Structures are given as C-alpha cells and as structure tokens.
Amino acid sequence: MITVASLAPYLGGALALGGIAVAASRRRELLIRWCAWAVGVPLVTGAFWWGRPGTAAVAIVVGVIAVMEFGGLMRLGWTDRVVLAAAVVSVVLAAWLAPGQVLRVVAIGALAVAAVPLLAGDADHGLHRLGAGLLGLAWLSVLAALVPLGASALALFVAVSVADIVAYFAGRGLGGPRLSPLSPAKRWSGTLAGAAAGLGVLVVLSALSWPMAVAVAVGGPAGDLLESMIKRGAQAKDAGRWLPGSGGLLDRIDSLLIALAVLLVLS
C-alpha cells in the first residue's frame, strides 16, 4: 500500500537531484522553478501526511485559485467565479465529510452555476457563462478525488509531472509529428517518451497498476491539451503570472486533473 511516508524519501531525493542539476545548468528560469518546487513540495507533502483534513485543505486552496484563473481565461464576472468556487469547495467538502452525497452536491452546484446567468437575464452572454461555468465545475471538481485517493494521488502527481518534463525535452530533441494542432510544440515522440518515464516513476514508487498507467499515459497528455484549447480560445499564453516558472496554477495541474478523472473512472 502506498503511503505518504513511503513517498517522502523519493520526493526529497528528487528535489535534491533537481537542485544539483539546476545549479549545474546555471539557468535562471530553471532555478526560479526549482525554488517554487522546493517550497511547494514540502507543504503539499505535509498536508497529505495529515490525512484527509490536510488533503481536503489542499484541494480547496488549489480549487479556489484554479477557479479564479479559469474565470479570467473565460472572462467570467466575479459573481460567476464566486459561485463556481463555492460549488467546487462544496464538492471537496462532500468528498471529505459525506462521500455518499458527492453526486448530489455536484448536481446542486451545477444548478447554482446555471442560475447566475439565468437570474441576471443575460441574453447576450448567458450561454457563454453557462457553458463556461459547467465546464469549470466538471473540470475542477475532480480535485475532490484527492481526498479519497490520498497518497495514490500524490504518486500520480509525481508521475504526471515527470512525464510532462520528459515529454517537453524529448519532443524538442527528437522532433517528429505534432501531437495536436492545439499545442504545436508537442510531439508524439515527446508524449511517448514522457509516458514511458511516468510509468517508470510509478514502478519506482511501487504505485504501478493498469488504471494508474492509463491515467499517466493518456489522462496526462489529454489534460494538457484541454487547457491548451481553453488558452487558445482565450488567446492567452498562460493561465496566470504569479507562480514562478509555471505561469499560473492551472498550467501546473492541467495534466493532473484529467489523469485524476481517468483514475476515478477506471478504479
């Protein structure tokens, strides 16, 4: 069984090796990104170590920030964002405190999101607000899966993150056919190399199973393409500018979100 205690040495070792590699490269952007990881990884690991309350707290904080970034990309007003954030938070709390009521809470959240443009009588932009709000709820409510999955979700995040990094560098080095017009920089060669690296991480972490493997190899790239589609529609390069080396939080967790959804379905 995967536990946070069993993952902690690997996370610490990866941070240390990454720091050495970054120092050797002397590249400022990599140093900034590593510093962000050096702060974030211990905080998230400590929260997961606390158990379901800590995991729920992480999911809530991440969910609210992600809603605000998503709302910015979709040009949603503050009322839409606040209601959507409340709906996502409610789903996370239900996953922690009342797991049997999650679907009911999702349905109530969808009705609340839909009610905002309806009550406003927005004939010009109401359909856009409704579609964007329901997409945001379906996409970001997946964060509630962090609560029941616990350490498995942490292992999935590590594997997906490594797969993303390897896919980026392998795609640039190997070239070949593009993965999708949604993200011209991504190549099939990089995606396959990243999937192999992600599966290798799962083996090292003793977390390999066929649902986890599909989540990393298929869900991760699909999540990245989904955010690319949203950003291209919004004509934005990043979901935000506040997270050093990553743009916004959505840019960091886009692959994880769909990977979590795939893992939930297959499990």
Q: What is the pLDDT of residues 94-112, one digit of tens each?
A: 999 999 999 999 999 999 9
Does residue 138 belong to any structural domain of this protein?
Answer: yes
Does residue 50 belong to any structural domain of this protein?
Answer: no
Is residue 55 scored above 90 in pLDDT? yes
pLDDT at 39 (0 to 100): 84
Is residue 133 scored above 90 in pLDDT? yes
pLDDT at 245 (0 to 100): 64
Is residue 65 scored above 80 in pLDDT? yes
Does residue 128 belong to any structural domain of this protein?
Answer: yes
- Mean pLDDT across 249-255: 91
pLDDT at 247 (0 to 100): 79
Does residue 105 belong to any structural domain of this protein?
Answer: yes
What's the mean pLDDT when you consider all of the chain? Answer: 90
Residue 237 pLDDT grade (very low, low, confident, very high; cuts 50, 70, 90): confident
Is residue 170 scored above 70 in pLDDT? yes
Does residue 174 belong to any structural domain of this protein?
Answer: no
Closest CA to 253 of 220, 231, 212, 208: 220
Does residue 195 belong to any structural domain of this protein?
Answer: no
Does residue 124 belong to any structural domain of this protein?
Answer: yes
Q: H helices then E strands: how many in the chain?
A: 12, 0
pLDDT at 37 (0 to 100): 80
User: Six-digit token pair at 242?
Assistant: 């506040």
Does residue 209 belong to any structural domain of this protein?
Answer: no
Domain count, the chain: 1
Cα 100 from chain centroid (whole Å): 24
For residue 77, give its domain range: 56-147
Three-state secondary-structure class, residue 178? strand
Residue 38, CA distances (Å) to 31, 43, 106, 191, 246 in order:
10, 9, 34, 26, 14
Residue 209 pLDDT grade (very low, low, confident, very high; cuts 50, 70, 90): very high
pLDDT at 57 (0 to 100): 96
Length of the chain: 267
Residue 88 pLDDT grade (very low, low, confident, very high; cuts 50, 70, 90): very high
